[in-house]
Amino acid sequence: MSAEYIRIAALVLAAGESARLGTPKQLLQWQGVTLLQKTIHEIQNIYLTVPHIVDITVVLGAFHEQILPTLSTYTIHSVYNTQWQKGMGESLRFGVESILQHSQPDYLLIALCDQPLVTDKHYALLLEQSIKNSKGIVASYYNNKAGVPAVFSKQYLHQLQTLHGAKGAQSVIKQHIHDVQTIDVPEAAFDIDTIQDIEVVKQQVSRE
C-alpha cells in the first residue's frame, strides 16, 4: 500500500438487543436491505478527493447468529463481542481493539446501524473535515449536542480502548470539546429504538 494513502477504519456498532423495539433493529428492512446492510453500503460508497482505503469492522452482540449470515457477501470484518450486555462503551472498546489487531488507521469513523437517514455524503463530509483541519475529532451535531457518527484521529484510539459500560464515544467528545469540530447532521437525530420511531423516519423521508 502506498504511503500516500490515508488509512481509514470504520467501526459500525450493531451489538444491541433492541429491547424497546422487540425485534432486532439490525435486521429491519429499509429500502430493500436491512438497516445494518444500509449502513455498510453508505460507508462503502464514501467518495473522498484524497486516495484512501476504508476498512470496515462491524461489532455484533445480541442476535449475532441471525445477523452474521446477512453479512456474508460483504468485504468487512465482523467481530462478536461476548460482553455486549455491558453497554455500548464495551462494544466500542472491543471494536477498536479488534481493528488495531490488523490495522493502524489514521482516522476512525464510528457509526451506528440505526440512523437510516445518514448517507455516504455525511460520512464523507466528516472524514474530509477531519483530514483538512487540525481538530482531532469531527462530530455530527444534532439535538443540540455533538455525537456520532464521528471521526476520531489516531491520537484518540487509546482512550477509546478504555471505555466501558454505557460510556460511549460521546463521553470522549465531551471530555475533549476544545478539540472538536462539529458539522450539522440533523438526519442523525432520526434513530430507530421503537416502532413509533420507524413511522417517524418514514414520514421524514416522505417529506423530502
pLDDT at 208: 66
Q: What is the pTM of this model?
A: 0.94
Instruction: Print pLDDT tens along the chain (208 aa).
Output: 444 789 999 999 999 998 888 889 999 999 899 999 999 999 999 999 888 989 999 999 999 999 999 999 999 999 999 999 999 999 999 999 999 999 999 999 999 999 999 999 999 999 999 999 999 999 999 999 999 999 999 999 999 999 999 899 999 999 999 999 999 999 999 999 888 888 888 888 877 6
Q: Which residues make beta-bridge pairs with 134?
A: none
- Map out the domains of the chain as residue ranges: 6-207
Spelled out in words, what is the top-level CATH class assigned to the domain 6-207?
alpha beta
